Amino acid sequence: MGDWCGSNCTPPGPTLISLAPGCAGQGASEIPLDAQFGAWCTPTAGVTLSPGQSVSGSVTLRPGSGGPPDYTVYTGYNDPVTGKLHFPPDAPFITHNSIVAPAATDIQIGGAASTGSPSSGSEFTYTYQVKNAGPWGTYGGIVFVDTLPASLTHVSSSVTFTRLSPQTGKPVTAQLLCSVAGQSVMCPIPDMQNGGLSGQATIVITVSASSVAQQIVNTASVHTILPQEDSNIANNSVTVTVVSR
């Protein structure tokens, strides 16, 4: 039985709560490289079953993160005629897939303007940093929203994030464009791991100030997507004030 979530799971796979009598944890050499947990409920040497006999086992787990786990229960057997050892897909197995509600984690945002006193009618930028302070990864994504004051005109906006390549294990930077509806700028942010390069994203919004000199107060916020919950909503928004001249 295993929890397959890839070689870069954050956080790692499930916690073993209990095993039925006769079950035991697998040795490291028996767990596939992309599995985070394994257990067997018959001896590694196997058992001999007469016609009509059966074996059973029970494992209780606590998932380590939200998302779609892949739990597989399988059997292996020796063909009494050929002596060949069979494993799935040539032997019986059951794969269970479902969605596990993620635990709450702390998503934070900070930001600043490229200038505190832009010239009237000029362009300037807001740069926001979004990070996952943990202790868990997210599942379902994050949404950034900035409803621009009426004195600003949207020019462009994008979100930049870094992920580890599943092929090379090295950081890869990607960029997504944000959507704009009226004065509202909305940026989808992919799931974040707990800290590190894969636990942060940068949003850059370029705007044009109006021709009238004035104070401009702009507030942006980030939100997790249900069923993910944020453990501290007090740091989910940031207000940046500039005075055009």
CA 38 from chain centre, in angstroms, equals: 23
The number of domains in the chain is 2
Expressed as residue numbers, the domain containing 93 is: 2-97
- pLDDT on residue 162: 86
- Say if residue 91 is in the same domain as residue 112: no
DSSP string covering 132-191:
E-SSS--SS-EEEEEE--TTEEEEEEEEEEEEE-TTT-SEEEEEEE-EEETTEEEEEE--
- Say if residue 114 is in the same domain as residue 86: no
Measured CA to CA, the distance from residue 233 to residue 188 in angstroms comes to 18
With bands split at pLDDT 50, 70 and 90, how would you rate the model's confidence at 236? Answer: very high
With bands split at pLDDT 50, 70 and 90, how would you rate the model's confidence at 3? Answer: very low
pLDDT tens profile 137-159: 888 889 999 999 999 999 999 99
Residue where a domain terminates, one of 97, 125, 144: 97
Neighbours of 32 (CB within 10 A): 10
pLDDT, mean of residues 52-80: 73
- Mean pLDDT for the chain? 81
In this structure, is residue 141 part of a structural domain? yes
Looking at per-residue confidence, does 91 or 175 come out higher? 175
Q: Which residues does residue 181 pair with via DSSP β-bridges, in sequence order?
A: 184
Whole-structure pTM value: 0.67
- pLDDT on residue 122: 95
Least confident of 12-16, 91-95, 169-173: 12-16
